[in-house]
C-alpha cells in the first residue's frame, strides 16, 4: 500500500522521504510525512486510526501507547511506545500494532483484552487502549515464550500508564492472569521477512537522517550543523508537543550499529549512545545490583525503552537521574566528531562535562558516543537514592548517589553525585572532603550532613522547597550511613 499524506493545517509539510511500516499484514509506504510529525498525529489525524488516545501529549499518561517491533537477528523485539512524543519516522522499518489490531477478524478478543474484561480492568475506558498495548508488549515478551507474568514484571510493564477511575489492582490482576491462547500467536517469521526487505531498501531523503554506522553519523553531524540530533526523543518529543517547536531536519542516531552495544572490558564498561535506559541500567546492575531498584524509579517502562543513557547525559537537566549516579561512579563520556576527513574523539570526566544550566563541553559538531563506567573496585559500597512525589513515572526533587570505600572502619575514598540542588548535576566535593580519612562514625556523618547542607543553594520550585532539598540531602547521607554500616538492613523498596 502506498499513500501520499496531506498534512493538516496545523503542520506545514516539510519535505521528507517515505515512511515504511508493517501494519495489519501489509507494508505501508507513506509519502510526505514531515520529519517532526509525531506518530500519534500520523495515526489519528493522517491515517484516521483513532484507537490510540491523546491524554497528556507529554509521555506521562500512556493513553497513546502503541507497540512496535524491530527485527534483530531474525527475531522481533517488542517495545511499548508513547506515540505522542515519538517522531513517526523513528519507527520506519518496524512493525506496528494499535489497540484496534489485536482482536481477530471474527471479533475474538486477544488474551490481553479478554483478561481486562474478566478482571474488570476498565471503567471510562480512556486509558484502556494504552493499558492493553502495554499488556500486549508484555505478553509478546513473556507469555508468548511460555513465561508466566509475576507481580513485579506486571508493575514494571504498566509503570507508564495512568488510570484515573478503575484503580490499578484489577489491571495488575489482568496482567498476572495472562495465559497463551492457541491461534493468537503473531506470525513472526512473515513479519521478520517483510521487515528484512525494508532493511535491504536504502532509505533516502534529506530531512530525517537515520545513519546506520558511526562514521555516517559523525559526517551527518558535521554536514548538517543545524539539524536536531535525537536518540529516543523522550526529551526532544516534548519540544514538539509542549514547546510547539518545529524541527525541520532531524538526525536520529538510534540505528547506528556501533552505538547499540554495551561493551564489557576488564576495568570498565562502555555503553553506546543508542542503548536504551532499561538495557543500560541492567548492564550497570550486573556489576552493582543496587542500581536496578534505582533505575526502575526512572520514568516508566516505555520511556526507559525509548530513552537512552546518552540522551539523559547530553540533555544535561539538573534533575536528570542518571548523572548523579554516573558522577559517583567516576564515569567519563566519549565525545566524537568528524574532522579533516576522519573520526576524532576525546574523553571527558562527567563531573567536568557540564558548564552551566543545560550547557556542556559538547561542541556543535560532536556527538556523545559512549558513556564509560569503571567497574567496581574491591570493597566498594554504593547507595543511589531518588526522592520524588510519585514512586514511578516522576522526575526527581533530589537525587543522591554515594560511592564509598571503608577500610578498618575509616573512609578511604568517597565520591558523591547530587541532582536537583544546583544548575547542573554535580559532585559534592566539600562533603567528600569531610569524609575521607575519617572514621565512618556518627560524628563524621554529622559533619558531612552539615557540609552537604551548606555546599549547595538549591531552588524552591513545584517539586520541593530549597529547605526541604537541603534537609533531604542530609537525610539521604544518613540513610547511606545506616545502610553501609548495616545499622539498617531493611531496603525500603523491599517493603512494597
Ligand X SMILES: Cc1cc2nc3c(=O)[nH]c(=O)nc-3n(C[C@H](O)[C@H](O)[C@H](O)COP(=O)(O)OP(=O)(O)OC[C@H]3O[C@@H](n4cnc5c(N)ncnc54)[C@H](O)[C@@H]3O)c2cc1C
User: Where along the sequence are the contacts to ligand FES (CB under 6 A)?
Assistant: 54-57, 59-64, 82, 84, 122-128, 163-166
16 or 122: CB nearest ligand FES: 122
Binding region for ligand X (CB under 6 A) out of 16-24, 194-202, 361-369, 408-416: 361-369
Closest CA to 238 of 288, 182, 303: 303
Considering only 232, 318, 330, 458, the residue that binds ligand X (CB under 6 A) is 232
Three-state DSSP at 361 gives coil
Contact in structure between 228 and 236 (CB atoms under 8 Å): yes
Strand ranges for 13-153 from DSSP E: 19-23, 26-31, 65-72, 75-82, 94-97
299 or 411: CB nearest ligand X: 299
DSSP state, 85? T
Question: CA 49 to CA 88: how far, in whole Å?
Answer: 14
The CA-based dihedral angle spanning residues 163, 164, 169, 173, taken in that order and rounded to the nearest 10 degrees: -40
Closest CA to 34 of 216, 206, 229, 200: 206
Strand order in the sheet with 208-209: 208-209, 250-252, 228-230
Using CB under 6 A as the binding rule, the residues of this chain from 42 to 81 that contact ligand X are 59-60
DSSP for 21-40 reads EEETTEEEEEES--TT-BHH
Question: CA 250 to CA 41: how far, in whole Å?
Answer: 18
149 near ligand X, rule: CB under 6 A: no
350 or 451: CB nearest ligand X: 350
Binding region for ligand X (CB under 6 A) out of 20-28, 109-117, 303-311, 403-411: 303-311
Longest dimension (CA), the chain: 73
Q: Which does 124 bind (CB under 5 to 8 A by kind): ligand FES, ligand X, none?
A: ligand FES
Binding region for ligand X (CB under 6 A) out of 141-149, 287-295, 360-368, 458-466: 360-368
| Residues β-bridged to residue 87 | 38
Minimum CB–partner distance for residue 258 and ligand X (Å): 12
398 near ligand X, rule: CB under 6 A: no
Considering only 273, 372, 402, 435, the residue that binds ligand X (CB under 6 A) is 273
Q: Is 189 exposed, middle or buried (0-12, 13-18, 19+ CB in 10 A)?
A: exposed
52 or 396: CB nearest ligand FES: 52
40 or 477: CB nearest ligand FES: 40
Binding region for ligand X (CB under 6 A) out of 140-148, 190-198, 228-236, 409-417: 228-236
Considering only 42, 303, 337, 373, the residue that binds ligand X (CB under 6 A) is 303
Binding region for ligand X (CB under 6 A) out of 45-53, 233-241, 287-295, 407-415: 233-241
50 or 465: CB nearest ligand FES: 50
Strand ranges for 51-204 from DSSP E: 65-72, 75-82, 94-97
Binding region for ligand X (CB under 6 A) out of 92-100, 312-320, 404-412, 447-455: 312-320
Q: Which does 435 bind (CB under 5 to 8 A by kind): ligand X, ligand FES, none?
A: none
229 near ligand X, rule: CB under 6 A: yes
Backbone angles phi, psi at 4, to 5 degrees: -110, 125
299 near ligand X, rule: CB under 6 A: yes
| Residues β-bridged to residue 272 | 370
Considering only 135, 163, 209, 368, the residue that binds ligand X (CB under 6 A) is 368
State how beta strands 398-407 and 65-72 pair.
unpaired
Minimum CB–partner distance for residue 361 and ligand X (Å): 11
Q: Which does 234 bind (CB under 5 to 8 A by kind): ligand X, ligand FES, none?
A: ligand X
Residue 462 CB neighbours (<10 A): 6
Binding region for ligand X (CB under 6 A) out of 37-45, 296-304, 342-350, 433-441: 296-304
307 near ligand X, rule: CB under 6 A: yes
φ/ψ bin of 244: left (φ > 0), alpha (ψ from -120 to 50), beta (otherwise)? left
Q: How many chain residues touch ligand X (CB under 6 A)?
A: 30
4 or 213: CB nearest ligand X: 213
Instruction: List the helix and strand counts (H, then E) for the chain.
Output: 17, 20
Minimum CB–partner distance for residue 398 and ligand X (Å): 12
Binding region for ligand X (CB under 6 A) out of 11-19, 130-138, 223-231, 349-357: 223-231
217 or 414: CB nearest ligand X: 217
Query: What distances in angstroms separate CA 79 from CA 34, 49, 303, 344, 460, one per listed residue?
Result: 23, 19, 10, 34, 37
262 near ligand X, rule: CB under 6 A: no
Question: CA 18 to CA 41: how far, in whole Å?
Answer: 16
Residues lying near ligand X in the complex (CB under 6 A): 59-60, 229-236, 253, 273, 277, 298-299, 303, 307-308, 310-312, 314-315, 320-321, 362, 367-368, 393, 395
Amino acid at each position: 500500500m502506498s499513500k501520499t499524506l496531506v498534512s493538516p493545517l496545523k503542520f506545514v509539510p516539510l519535505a521528507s522521504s517515505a515512511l515504511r511500516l508493517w501494519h495489519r499484514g501489509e507494508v505501508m509506504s507513506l509519502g510526505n510525512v514531515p520529519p517532526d510529525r509525531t506518530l500519534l498525529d500520523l495515526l489519528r489525524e493522517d491515517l484516521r486510526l483513532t484507537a490510540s488516545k491523546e491524554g497528556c501529549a507529554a509521555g506521562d499518561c500512556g493513553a497513546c501507547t502503541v507497540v512496535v517491533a524491530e527485527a534483530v537477528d531474525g527475531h522481533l523485539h517488542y517495545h511499548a511506545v508513547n506515540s505522542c512524543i515519538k517522531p513517526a519516522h523513528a519507527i520506519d522499518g518496524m512493525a506496528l500494532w494499535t489497540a484496534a489490531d489485536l482482536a481477530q477478524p471474527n471479533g475474538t478478543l486477544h488474551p490481553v483484552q479478554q483478561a481486562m474484561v474478566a478482571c474488570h480492568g476498565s471503567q471510562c475506558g480512556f486509558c484502556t487502549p494504552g493499558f492493553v498495548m502495554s499488556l500486549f508488549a508484555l505478553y509478546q515478551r513473556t507469555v508468548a515464550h511460555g513465561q508466566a507474568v509475576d507481580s513485579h514484571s506486571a508493575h514494571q510493564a504498566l509503570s507508564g500508564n495512568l488510570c484515573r477511575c478503575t484503580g490499578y489492582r484489577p489491571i495488575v490482576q489482568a496482567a498476572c492472569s495472562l495465559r497463551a491462547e492457541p491461534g493468537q500467536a503473531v506470525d513472526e517469521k512473515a513479519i521478520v521477512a517483510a521487515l528484512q526487505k525494508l532493511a535491504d531498501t536504502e532509505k533516502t531523503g534529506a530531512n530525517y537522517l537515520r545513519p546506520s554506522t558511526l562514521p555516517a553519523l559523525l559526517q551527518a553531524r558535521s554536514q548538517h550543523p543545524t539539524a536536531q540530533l535525537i536518540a529516543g526523543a523522550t526529551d526532544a518529543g516534548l519540544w514538539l508537543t509542549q514547546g510547539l517547536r518545529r524541527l525541520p531536519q532531524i538526525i536520529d542516531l538510534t540505528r547506528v550499529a556501533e552505538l547499540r552495544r554495551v561493551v564489557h572490558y576488564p576495568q570498565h564498561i562502555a555503553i553506546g549512545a543508542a542503548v536504551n535506559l532499561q538495557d543500560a541500567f541492567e548492564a550497570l546492575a550486573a556489576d552493582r545490583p543496587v542500581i536496578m531498584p534505582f533505575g526502575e524509579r526512572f520514568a516508566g517502562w516505555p520511556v526507559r525503552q525509548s530513552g537512552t543513557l546518552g540522551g539523559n547525559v547530553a540533555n544535561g537537566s539538573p534533575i536528570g537521574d542518571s548523572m548523579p549516579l554516573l558522577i559517583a561512579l567516576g564515569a567519563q563520556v566519549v565525545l566524537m566528531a568528524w574532522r579533516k576527513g576522519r573520526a576524532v574523539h576525546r574523553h571527558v570526566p562527567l563531573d567536568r562535562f557540564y558548564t552551566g544550566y543545560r550547557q556542556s563541553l559538547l561542541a556543535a559538531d560532536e556527538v556523545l558516543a559512549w558513556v564509560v563506567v569503571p567497574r567496581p573496585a574491591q570493597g566498594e559500597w554504593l547507595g543511589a537514592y531518588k526522592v520524588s512525589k510519585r514512586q514511578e513515572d516522576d522526575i526527581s526533587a533530589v537525587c543522591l548517589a554515594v560511592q564509598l570505600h571503608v577500610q578498618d572502619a575509616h573512609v578511604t575514598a568517597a565520591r558523591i553525585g547530587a541532582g536537583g540542588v544546583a544548575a547542573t548535576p554535580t559532585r559534592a566535593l566539600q562533603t567528600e572532603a569531610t569524609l575521607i580519612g575519617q572514621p565512618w562514625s556518627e560524628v563524621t556523618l554529622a559533619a558531612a550532613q552539615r557540609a552537604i547542607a551548606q555546599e549547595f543553594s538549591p531552588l524552591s520550585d513545584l517539586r520541593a522547597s530549597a529547605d526541604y532539598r537541603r534537609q533531604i540531602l542530609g537525610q539521604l547521607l544518613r540513610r547511606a550511613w545506616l545502610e553501609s554500616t548495616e545499622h539498617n538492613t531493611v531496603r525500603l523498596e523491599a517493603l512494597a
